[in-house]
Amino acid sequence: MNLFNQTVPLDSFFSDLIKDLAIQNELKAGLGDQIGNSIINQLLEGIPFEGIEGNWYDLISDFIHNEAKEVETILGEGSYGEFPISVLNYGPVFWIEAQEFDSIGYFRSKDDAVSCAEWEYMEYLEGDNEEDNED
Parallel, antiparallel or unpaired: strands 81-90 and 104-107? unpaired
Domains held by the chain: number: 2
Q: Is the domain of 60 the same as that of 115?
A: no
| Long-range contacts, 126-133 (Cβ 8 Å, 24+) | 126/75, 126/76, 126/77, 129/77
What are the pLDDT digits (tens) for 56-80? Answer: 999 999 999 999 999 999 999 988 8
pLDDT of 36 higher than 60: yes
pTM: 0.84
Domain containing 16: what range? 3-65
Q: Among 125, 51, 89, which residue's Cα sits nearest to residue 39?
A: 51
Q: What sign for the dihedral angle of Cα 75, 76, 78, 84? A: negative
pLDDT of 52 higher than 80: no
- How does DSSP classify residue 76? E
Boundary (domain end) residue, out of 65, 96, 117 = 65
Q: Is the domain of 39 the same as that of 92?
A: no
Q: Is the domain of 118 the same as that of 79?
A: yes
